[in-house]
Structure 1
Amino acid sequence: MFSTRGMKGVYQHCAEKHLHRYLHEFSFRYNHRIALGCSDVERAEKALEGISGKRLTYRRIDSADLA
Protein backbone atom coordinates (compact mmCIF):
# COMPACT_ATOMS: atom_id res chain seq x y z
CA MET A 1 0.00 0.00 0.00
CA PHE A 2 1.57 3.24 -1.14
CA SER A 3 0.78 6.41 0.76
CA THR A 4 0.95 9.81 -0.94
CA ARG A 5 0.72 11.36 2.49
CA GLY A 6 3.77 9.38 3.57
CA MET A 7 5.78 10.51 0.56
CA LYS A 8 4.88 14.19 0.89
CA GLY A 9 5.07 14.17 4.68
CA VAL A 10 8.37 12.36 5.04
CA TYR A 11 10.42 12.86 1.88
CA GLN A 12 8.86 15.85 0.02
CA HIS A 13 10.65 14.77 -3.16
CA CYS A 14 11.39 11.45 -4.81
CA ALA A 15 13.69 11.15 -7.79
CA GLU A 16 12.43 8.61 -10.31
CA LYS A 17 15.74 6.73 -10.27
CA HIS A 18 15.28 6.08 -6.51
CA LEU A 19 11.55 5.35 -6.57
CA HIS A 20 12.08 1.59 -6.16
CA ARG A 21 13.91 2.23 -2.88
CA TYR A 22 11.10 4.36 -1.46
CA LEU A 23 8.50 1.80 -2.50
CA HIS A 24 10.50 -1.02 -0.91
CA GLU A 25 10.67 0.89 2.38
CA PHE A 26 6.92 1.56 2.36
CA SER A 27 6.13 -2.08 1.62
CA PHE A 28 8.50 -3.23 4.39
CA ARG A 29 6.82 -0.96 6.93
CA TYR A 30 3.35 -2.04 5.77
CA ASN A 31 4.19 -5.75 5.87
CA HIS A 32 5.82 -5.46 9.32
CA ARG A 33 3.25 -3.32 11.12
CA ILE A 34 1.80 -3.70 14.60
CA ALA A 35 -1.59 -4.80 13.22
CA LEU A 36 0.14 -7.94 11.91
CA GLY A 37 1.76 -8.61 15.28
CA CYS A 38 5.18 -7.12 14.57
CA SER A 39 6.47 -4.84 17.33
CA ASP A 40 8.80 -1.91 16.81
CA VAL A 41 11.68 -3.95 18.21
CA GLU A 42 10.98 -6.88 15.87
CA ARG A 43 10.70 -4.53 12.89
CA ALA A 44 14.04 -2.91 13.78
CA GLU A 45 15.68 -6.35 14.14
CA LYS A 46 14.36 -7.40 10.71
CA ALA A 47 15.65 -4.17 9.16
CA LEU A 48 19.09 -4.74 10.68
CA GLU A 49 19.10 -8.33 9.41
CA GLY A 50 18.38 -6.98 5.93
CA ILE A 51 21.39 -4.66 5.92
CA SER A 52 23.82 -7.16 7.42
CA GLY A 53 26.81 -7.67 5.12
CA LYS A 54 25.86 -4.83 2.76
CA ARG A 55 27.74 -1.63 2.17
CA LEU A 56 26.04 1.57 1.09
CA THR A 57 28.08 3.74 -1.22
CA TYR A 58 27.02 6.86 -3.06
CA ARG A 59 30.08 7.66 -5.09
CA ARG A 60 33.79 7.02 -5.00
CA ILE A 61 35.91 9.78 -3.53
CA ASP A 62 39.35 10.01 -5.12
CA SER A 63 42.24 12.14 -3.95
CA ALA A 64 41.55 14.51 -6.89
CA ASP A 65 38.08 15.20 -5.47
CA LEU A 66 39.59 16.30 -2.17
CA ALA A 67 41.88 18.91 -3.71
Structure 2
Amino acid sequence: NLIKKSREQQLTVGKDIGIISYNETPLKEILLDGITTISTDHEQMGRTAAELINENKRAVIKNPFTLIKRKSL
Protein backbone atom coordinates (compact mmCIF):
# COMPACT_ATOMS: atom_id res chain seq x y z
CA ASN A 1 0.00 0.00 0.00
CA LEU A 2 2.84 2.41 0.81
CA ILE A 3 4.41 1.94 -2.62
CA LYS A 4 1.03 2.38 -4.30
CA LYS A 5 0.33 5.58 -2.33
CA SER A 6 3.77 6.99 -3.14
CA ARG A 7 3.15 6.41 -6.85
CA GLU A 8 -0.28 8.03 -6.64
CA GLN A 9 1.34 11.11 -5.08
CA GLN A 10 4.20 11.03 -7.62
CA LEU A 11 6.83 10.52 -4.90
CA THR A 12 10.06 8.68 -5.66
CA VAL A 13 11.06 6.02 -3.12
CA GLY A 14 14.64 6.57 -2.04
CA LYS A 15 14.53 10.24 -2.98
CA ASP A 16 11.29 11.86 -1.75
CA ILE A 17 10.46 9.19 0.85
CA GLY A 18 12.31 6.28 2.44
CA ILE A 19 11.02 2.81 3.23
CA ILE A 20 12.35 0.46 5.90
CA SER A 21 10.66 -2.91 6.34
CA TYR A 22 10.91 -5.63 8.97
CA ASN A 23 12.22 -9.09 8.11
CA GLU A 24 14.17 -9.88 4.97
CA THR A 25 12.43 -11.71 2.11
CA PRO A 26 13.50 -12.42 -1.47
CA LEU A 27 10.76 -10.06 -2.70
CA LYS A 28 12.20 -7.11 -0.76
CA GLU A 29 15.53 -7.73 -2.43
CA ILE A 30 14.07 -7.00 -5.89
CA LEU A 31 11.02 -4.77 -5.28
CA LEU A 32 11.83 -1.17 -6.32
CA ASP A 33 15.46 -2.24 -6.85
CA GLY A 34 15.60 -3.16 -3.16
CA ILE A 35 13.74 -2.31 0.05
CA THR A 36 15.88 -1.62 3.13
CA THR A 37 15.17 -4.19 5.86
CA ILE A 38 15.79 -4.69 9.56
CA SER A 39 15.74 -8.37 10.40
CA THR A 40 16.39 -10.29 13.58
CA ASP A 41 18.62 -13.34 13.59
CA HIS A 42 15.93 -16.04 13.65
CA GLU A 43 18.44 -18.89 13.91
CA GLN A 44 20.03 -17.37 17.00
CA MET A 45 16.60 -16.73 18.49
CA GLY A 46 15.74 -20.41 18.02
CA ARG A 47 19.00 -21.58 19.59
CA THR A 48 18.51 -19.28 22.57
CA ALA A 49 14.89 -20.37 23.04
CA ALA A 50 15.89 -24.04 22.91
CA GLU A 51 18.66 -23.45 25.45
CA LEU A 52 16.29 -21.67 27.85
CA ILE A 53 13.70 -24.43 27.50
CA ASN A 54 16.28 -27.19 28.01
CA GLU A 55 17.67 -25.47 31.09
CA ASN A 56 14.21 -24.51 32.38
CA LYS A 57 15.25 -20.84 32.60
CA ARG A 58 13.60 -17.48 31.98
CA ALA A 59 15.60 -14.51 30.79
CA VAL A 60 15.39 -11.24 28.92
CA ILE A 61 17.89 -11.50 26.07
CA LYS A 62 18.77 -9.08 23.30
CA ASN A 63 18.78 -10.87 19.99
CA PRO A 64 21.12 -9.61 17.25
CA PHE A 65 19.67 -7.99 14.14
CA THR A 66 20.88 -6.99 10.70
CA LEU A 67 20.23 -3.83 8.71
CA ILE A 68 20.39 -4.33 4.95
CA LYS A 69 20.47 -0.89 3.37
CA ARG A 70 19.12 -0.72 -0.17
CA LYS A 71 17.86 1.89 -2.65
CA SER A 72 14.64 2.57 -0.73
CA LEU A 73 16.52 4.96 1.57
Q: TM over 0.5, yes or no?
A: no
More helix by percentage: 1
Q: Which has the larger radius of gyration?
A: 2
More strand by percentage: 2
Q: Which has the higher contact order (CA 8 A, sep 6+)?
A: 2
**TM-score, length of structure 2 as denominator length:** 0.29
